[in-house]
Amino acid sequence: MSTTPEPARRVLVTGASSGIGAATVRRLRAEGFDVVAAARRLDRLEALAAETGAEAYALDVTDQGAVDDLVAHLEASGGLDGVVNNAGGAFGLDPVEDADVEQWQHMYELNVVGTLRVTQGVLPLLRAAAERRGGAEGAGADVVFVTSTAAHGAYEGGAGYTAAKHGERMLSTTLRWELAGEPIRVVEVAPGAVATEEFSLVRFDGDAAKAAAVYEGYQPLQAADVADVIGYALTRPPYVNIDLLVVRPRAQVHNSKVARTGV
Ligand code: NAP
């Protein structure tokens, strides 16, 4: 019997240059995974790579050619055992009546189509890795989707983001049905309010006061809390599939019901 140790599992994390993605890179490196950290801002990824030993890779998930190049790179450099589809975001908080069509298109392109591009691209690599690691009888591969509680309900002003996140959630759920019987897990992690440094700033187009107000008067989740959940899902025995994990701050019982104090 061979005593050669199994090589570390290699996971791609998209949207890794800040927030939940960066925290997930840290968490997965601490768990012993090889990690490819991808996003558009290479300088931030390189700092994270220097800190964690991950590989930095510049990627815009809305660019099909860039995703194709990433897949070719992954294939030529050892393949891939898992992907954390985390790149995403919200733009605006306007009622349907005043909604900005371009913001809606951008949210759909980033959260749904971008996630589709990456998932479609890496699936053959994941299947090959799962086969290499023992197929149906042994360890497999993983596809994680970071959706949101916005993928599970409505809130005023949120239709563009909730529509996109519902779309991403259906992509995740449908893929699980389609891969049934294959050694590939499909995991959805749906966080409530997470105080990441950029999510609300991006949503409110750089308005720091509006962004800060989202997290006032209660203890929101931190990026590391969500990374913890992702790390948990990826370190279960291979036959255990965490289909859906909803994680919210204790003070938030619904997207639009947050128990705030002192505000
Ligand atoms: P964040 O800090 O704004 O991070 C978003 C990440 O996505 C950044 O690394 C950004 O990096 C990357 N990104 C944006 N556009 C991209 C593109 N076209 N191609 C590749 N990467 C792109 O937000 P976060 O709070 O960590 O959110 C991460 C995920 O969790 C998102 O899917 C978000 O919808 C979801 N989520 C967030 C919350 C929350 O309250 N914060 C709650 C539930 C779910 P670059 O700009 O460098 O590309």
Return the pLDDT at 135: 64
Ligand 1: residue of 13, 14, 20 to mutate (most ligand atoms within 8 A of CB) is 20
Residue with CA closest to ligand 1 atom 39: 194
Task: Look up residue 8 and give its DSSP letter.
Answer: P
The per-residue pLDDT string of the chain (263 residues; one tens digit each, 9 = 90 and over) reads: 445 667 789 999 999 999 999 999 999 999 999 999 999 999 999 999 999 999 999 999 999 999 999 999 999 999 999 999 999 999 999 999 999 999 999 999 999 999 999 999 999 999 999 998 876 567 899 999 999 999 999 999 999 999 999 999 999 999 999 999 999 999 999 999 999 989 999 999 999 999 999 999 999 999 999 999 999 999 999 999 999 999 999 999 999 899 999 65
Residue/partner pairs of 57-63 with CB below 8 Å, 24 or more apart? 59/14, 61/14, 61/87, 61/110, 61/114, 61/115, 61/117, 61/118, 62/109, 62/110, 62/113, 62/114, 62/117
Query: Would you tell me which CATH number, out of the four given (3.40.50.720, 1.10.3720.10, 3.30.1120.10, 3.20.20.10), belongs to the domain 10-252?
Result: 3.40.50.720
Return the pLDDT at 1: 46
Return the pLDDT at 5: 66
Of all atoms in ligand 1, which is nearest to the CA of residue 220?
A: 40
Of all atoms in ligand 1, which is nearest to the CA of residue 214?
A: 40
Angstrom distances, CA of residue 106 to CA of 142, 160, 219, 248: 27, 10, 30, 26
Residue 175 half-sphere exposure, CB side, CA atoms within 13 Å?
22
Radius of gyration of the chain (CA): 18
Return the pLDDT at 208: 95
The CA 39 to ligand 1 mean position distance, Å, reads: 9
Residue/partner pairs of 167-174 with CB below 8 Å, 24 or more apart? 167/108, 167/111, 167/112, 168/85, 168/88, 168/111, 168/112, 168/115, 169/145, 171/112, 171/115, 171/116, 171/119, 171/145, 172/143, 172/145, 172/147
DSSP 185-236: EEEEEEE--B--SSHHHHHTTT-HHHHHHTTTTS--B-HHHHHHHHHHHHTS
3-state secondary structure of 183: coil
The DSSP bridge partners found for residue 185 are 142
The reply to whether ligand 1 has any atom less than 6 angstroms from the CB of 39 is yes
The reply to whether ligand 1 has any atom less than 6 angstroms from the CB of 222 is no
The reply to whether ligand 1 has any atom less than 6 angstroms from the CB of 158 is no
Return the pLDDT at 6: 74
- Any idea which residues carry the catalytic annotation? 161
The reply to whether ligand 1 has any atom less than 6 angstroms from the CB of 86 is yes
239/204 Cα distance (integer angstroms):
41
Return the pLDDT at 91: 98
The reply to whether ligand 1 has any atom less than 6 angstroms from the CB of 59 is yes
Integer distance in angstroms from the first to the last C-alpha of the chain? 65
